[in-house]
Structure 1
Amino acid sequence: MAAGPLADLSGGIIVMQADDEASAQRLVEQDPYTQHGVTKDRTLHEWKVTVGSLAG
C-alpha cells in the first residue's frame, strides 16, 4: 500500500492491492482515518498497472 496527500493538500490518494472492489472497500472501512472520520469523501477506482510493479 502507498498513501499520501496531494501536493496542494486538497485531498489524498491511497493505492492498495485487493482481489476485488468488495475487498478494497473492506480495507478502506478498516482504515483508522475512515473509522475516525478523517476521510469523509472517498471514491474507489480500479487501476491497472501498465508500467512497474506493486508486488511486495
Structure 2
Amino acid sequence: MQIWKGVVSKDYVYVCLEYRPSQDVSTFVKKLKVRSSGKLYQNFPEMRKKLWRLLLGNKL
C-alpha cells in the first residue's frame, strides 16, 4: 500500500492510495479502519469511553 495524498477536513479524512489488485477493497478498508481506530484509542484513551457512551445512551 502506498498513500499518495491525504486531506483532513472537519468531518472527514480523504485519502488517495494505491494497493494490490489482488486485495479486496472491503478487506483493505476494514483493516485500515481497525488500525486507525486502534491508533486513535491509543493516543486518546478518553475517546473510547465517550464514544461508547454515545452508542449506549450514557448507560456506562
TM (norm. structure 1) is 0.36
Greater share of residues in helix: 2
Greater share of residues in strand: 2
Which structure carries more relative contact order (alpha carbon 8 Å, separation 6+)?
Answer: 1
TM (norm. structure 2) is 0.35
